[in-house]
Each structure stands twice: as structure tokens, then as C-alpha cells.
Structure 1
């Protein structure tokens, strides 16, 4: 993964958002699995529960120090294996 932060502010459908660009030394399928499979995502940031096919999941951060409540995240776009 690149070590230089590359996040930038963007506006999507009139809403302020943050976009991150990263480069990984892994195959695209492995990276896709790391961000879309809850058990893999839990290894580095948090876990999600629910059915992504509904357009939303409950996401809970795991490594912020204090216990965090799950938040509902909306899946606006999913084009495997390149865009989420």
C-alpha cells in the first residue's frame, strides 16, 4: 500500500465525501475480498453484518479504543472488483 496519504474532498450528488486512492501489492481479487468480506475487513478496520444486496450493512469499527456502536452504511455503488 502507498504510504503517502492521498485522500481528497469530493462532492457526490451534492454531498461532501472523502475519496482515497491506494496502491496494493496484491492481486485485485485479494484486495476486493479484503474490503468486501466481513471477516477479512475485521482484520484491519472493522466488521459489517447484514445483507449487502439490500443496499446497506451495519458497520462497527474494531480498533478505535472504545467500544463503538454499529452504524448503518449505505452501499451506493458496487462494481466488483473495482468500485465500492
Structure 2
């Protein structure tokens, strides 16, 4: 439940936008708005997926531990790569 509290906004936005695209409501919007909404959907889903995968692949990050900076850097890079890949569409 604690993790959902951290991701609730991304999950709600993702579900709302998924509904817009699956129901066909996006067809009444101008193309530029469709593009912005599709990119927003890709990024928010990327955030959720990156968070779930990070929980499975990496141990807990101790942000105050300067001795283990490589682990912290790897987690940050992982988030950036996953979200960027989703934002680029694949």
C-alpha cells in the first residue's frame, strides 16, 4: 500500500488516458492534443513500470549513504532509461 501512495498520481493519469484512447474519445480532439496525451500516457506508464521493475531488480536505495553511490547512480540511470524508452514509443 505504501508503494501505491507513491505512484497514485501516475496510476490514475495512466488509467484515465488509457480509457480516453480505448474508448475512442481521443478522435474528437485536435491532433496536437492527441500527441500530448499519447506522450503523457507513455511517460506515466513508463514511470509505473520502471518503479515496479526497480523493486524487483535492485535492493532498497539508501539515499544518505555516500559509500554506495554506484548503486544510487545505477537506480537513477535505470529510471531515466526506462522512462525515456517508453516516451520514445517502445
Common fold by TM > 0.5: no
Normalising by structure 2, what TM-score? Answer: 0.24
Normalising by structure 1, what TM-score? Answer: 0.25
Q: Which has the larger radius of gyration?
A: 2
